[in-house]
Amino acid sequence: MVALQQAGVVDLGDLPAGPSPGATPSDASEGRAQEQLEELRIEDEAEPAEYDRALFPHWDHGVEDNCTSRQVVLERDGEDVEVDDDCQPVSGRWDSRYDDEVLTDAQEIDIDHMVPLKEGWRSGAHAWTTEERRGFANDLDSSQLWAVSASSNRSKGDSDPSDWMPPSEKVHCDYVASWIEVKHTWDLTVDPDEEQALREVLEAC
């Protein structure tokens, strides 16, 4: 059963504590990742109806004080972040763990979907309702949303770990643990090449 993570009005006090510098955005751990990997279903990727990003409504308003989920992640994952009356960060510092870039302009930051929306679509989300896809695209409870440099996020695209890993090798263990956690949380499948890549990284952790 898909774990519904409906996007709605949420008190920021109920959200997971923001990561300290250099920490993963969630409690994903390598030990737990190994257990979760064994529980994932291995299937070839589906080729459903044509993917459309609009099928995953994202950056919802209404998380708190009409902030978007993007704005919440920017404040959660940065240091010394100050926001204006519209929740938009006006100053702060962000460490992009994918490529070790240090950024001080929120406009240079993308919020990466750990499991890209198109990857989710091919792995089972094509069968979900719009509200389920909305929850997946705005998931603040798992490792799904990472504040990273725009260049690293766009380099990744919709690739899974068999085709792309972050340039910074020191984040690889956290990256695959987080990928597995999100797939497990949302009951998404992994394809054979993806599963092998995840397993190989975990074995080296």
pLDDT tens profile 74-128: 999 999 999 999 999 999 999 999 999 999 999 999 999 999 999 999 999 999 9
Model confidence, pTM: 0.85
Domain ranges of the chain: 26-44+55-204
Averaged pLDDT, 17-21: 34
* pLDDT at position 27: 52
Torsion of CA 8, 58, 73, 27, to 10 degrees: 80
Percent of the chain at pLDDT exceeding 70:
84
**Residue 144 pLDDT more than 70?**
yes
Least confidently predicted of 18-32, 76-90, 128-142, 163-177: 18-32
Q: Scanning the structure block, which residue is given the tokens 């737990």?
A: 32
Amino acid in the structure at residue 22 = G
| Cα 173-175-201 angle, rounded to 5 deg | 45
Identify which has the larger pLDDT, 66 or 169: 169
Burial tier of 44 (Cβ tally within 10 Å: 0-12, 13-18, 19+): exposed
Q: 5 pLDDT exceeds 60?
A: no
| Cα 202 from Cα 165, distance rounded (Å) | 13
